[in-house]
């Protein structure tokens, strides 16, 4: 195990106050705070190795390229991809899904084809596919939830037909904090020869992910949710599918030769990395993954699961508390009586407690519950039981104000 109190010291922002109160940061599903080593990695890259990658013969360009490609290897090892060139750097989960939707759509989908998503998807795993409904005429099929708010496996099985071409589902819900048995969902899709994308934005920071073991065809996540910088993320894809997909964006780096008559494209992963990549972001992301690995993702998972259980036990004691779904990971969504989530969030903020309120970019799920939104507390490796106690005390205080 590790000591979360000691680890906190490595996160400068956690030392600050808001409204004269100690900051209690429980909005980690939206973004995580950054350890000093990640902040320093950004400064170090710009201070000592900054030069455009891949194109220069000079010392700095080679150094930057070396570190950028080392970062790719760090990501590969972190998710256990088979090949380094199966790791494509993007701006984040959203861009990764848009890339797959646009490129797979152009290469393989036609009018009437069906793509399966689920009721608990983030907008970034709905809207890119909806764009294909408009552009190509595909149909979206939606996995419903069971009475206990889990993905309905039997209903999922029944969605498959000869028109099914793709499945895109989330590993862990950013609203419910529930982790879906995605391996089972992938196996079912593969029985029908249908590839699967797993949205790992909320799973990779909290549990060990092995893309080969999952047999995911695509796996995507964002750097900023795993202690890395904003603006950098990952698309993992199986080599054989990526090779058959058309490029997403055109520009420098993704080409082999450009003639006005015909352009040929670069090999993986560069075919999907048009323009100057965020090499500094990638280098700092690798630092964040090394930081996580040094603590041990299993240790982080154990700590966060303990915190979640500890929080659930106490939250359940609050009168008129309604917890949505069965959180097993790091996020808990709830409402207290008829207190509007925005009111609860604003008043908690005044106590120095940062939580998120609203639809969490998952409006179809919020509509399914027929509510205006939820309050969501989400944990990271540096949160403590005292912070959970403060959250519970804060909610009790606000609930009293509302009678």
How far is residue 70 CA from its own chain's centroid? 22
Examine residue 174 and tell whether it contacts ligand PLP (CB under 6 A): yes
The number of beta carbons lying within 10 Å of the beta carbon of residue 295 is 16
- CB of 124 or CB of 333, closer to ligand PLP: 124
Q: What tokens does 391 get?
A: 């959250």
Query: Considering beta carbons, is residue 85 or 91 the nearer one to ligand PLP?
Result: 91
Torsion sign across C-alpha atoms 44, 48, 52, 56? negative
CB of 180 to ligand PLP, least distance (A): 11
Q: Is 179 left (phi over 0), alpha (psi -120 to 50) or beta?
A: beta
Q: How far is the CB of 111 from ligand PLP (least distance, A)?
A: 27
- Rule CB under 6 A: say whether 122 interacts with ligand PLP: yes
Site string for ligand PLP, 294-323 (x = CB under 6 A): ------------------------------
With CA atoms as reference, report the closest residue to 363 among 353, 374, 355, 376: 374
Q: Does 98 bind ligand PLP (CB under 6 A)?
A: no
* Residue that has been written with the tokens 């999922």 in this structure: 156
Please say whether the beta carbons of 104 and 134 come within 8 A.
no
Catalytic residue among 101, 274, 361, 377: 361
Q: How far apart are CA 398 and CA 403, in angstroms?
A: 9
Q: Which of 65, 119, 179, 222 binds ligand PLP (CB under 6 A)?
A: 222
Which tokens is 175 given? 């609203």
Q: In the complex with ligand PLP, which residue's Cβ is closer, 104 or 394?
A: 104
**Residue 219: CB minimum distance to ligand PLP, A:** 12
Alpha-carbon distance values, 145 to 124, 148, 180, 202, 228 (Å): 19, 8, 11, 19, 33
Smallest gap from residue 59 Cβ to ligand PLP (A): 34
- Does 289 contact ligand PLP by CB under 6 A? no
- 201 in contact with ligand PLP (CB under 6 A): yes
Active site residue 361: yes
Exactly one of 27, 86, 114, 199 binds ligand PLP (CB under 6 A); which one? 199
Instruction: Kindly state the smallest distance separating residue 92's Cβ from ligand PLP, in Å.
Output: 3
Burial category of 264 from C-beta neighbours within 10 Å (exposed 0-12, middle 13-18, buried 19 and up): exposed
Q: Which of 149, 202, 314, 357: binder of ligand PLP (CB under 6 A)? A: 202
How far apart (Å, rounded) are the C-alpha atoms in residues 98 and 161?
Answer: 24
Whose tokens are 């890395």? That residue is 228
Q: Using CB under 6 A as the criterion, which residues of the chain lie in contact with ligand PLP when the complex forms?
A: 29, 92-94, 122, 124-125, 170, 174, 199, 201-202, 222
């Amino acid at each position: 195990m590790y000591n979360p109190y000691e680890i906190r010291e490595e996160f400068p922002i956690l030392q600050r106050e808001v409204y004269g109160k100690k900051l209690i940061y429980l909005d980690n599903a939206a973004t995580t705070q950054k350890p000093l080593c990640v902040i320093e990695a950004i400064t170090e890259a710009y201070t000592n190795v900054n030069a455009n990658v891949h194109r220069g013969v000079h010392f700095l360009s080679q150094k930057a390229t070396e570190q950028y490609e080392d970062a790719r290897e760090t990501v590969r090892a972190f998710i256990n991809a088979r090949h380094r060139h199966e790791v494509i750097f993007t701006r984040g989960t959203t861009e990764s899904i848009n890339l797959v939707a646009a490129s797979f759509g152009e290469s393989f989908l036609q009018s009437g084809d069906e793509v399966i998503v689920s009721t608990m998807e983030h907008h970034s795993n709905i809207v890119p596919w909806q764009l294909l409904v408009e552009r190509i005429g595909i149909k979206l099929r939606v996995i419903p939830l069971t009475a206990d708010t889990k993905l309905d496996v039997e209903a999922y099985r029944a969605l498959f037909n000869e028109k099914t071409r793709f499945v895109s589902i989330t590993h862990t819900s950013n609203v419910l904090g529930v982790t879906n048995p995605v391996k089972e969902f992938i196996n079912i899709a593969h029985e029908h020869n249908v590839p699967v994308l797993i949205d790992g934005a909320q799973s990779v920071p909290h549990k060990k992910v092995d893309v080969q073991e999952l047999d995911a065809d695509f796996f995507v996540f964002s750097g900023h949710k795993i202690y890395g910088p904003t603006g950098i993320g990952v698309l993992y894809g199986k080599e054989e599918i990526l090779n058959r997909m058309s490029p997403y964006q055109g520009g420098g780096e993704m080409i082999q030769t450009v003639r006005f008559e015909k352009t040929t494209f670069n090999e993986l992963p560069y075919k999907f990395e048009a323009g100057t990549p965020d090499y500094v972001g990638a280098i700092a992301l690798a630092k964040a993954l090394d930081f996580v690995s040094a603590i041990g993702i299993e240790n982080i998972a154990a700590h966060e699961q303990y915190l979640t259980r500890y929080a659930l036990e106490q939250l359940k004691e609050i009168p008129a508390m309604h917890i949505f779904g069965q959180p097993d990971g790091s996020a808990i969504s709830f409402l207290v009586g008829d207190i509007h989530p925005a009111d609860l969030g604003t008043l908690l903020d005044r106590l120095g407690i940062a939580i998120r309120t609203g639809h969490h970019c998952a409006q179809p799920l919020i509509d399914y519950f027929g509510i205006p939104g939820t309050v969501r507390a989400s944990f990271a490796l540096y949160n403590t039981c005292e912070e959970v106690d403060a959250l519970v005390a804060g909610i009790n205080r606000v609930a009293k104000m509302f009678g």
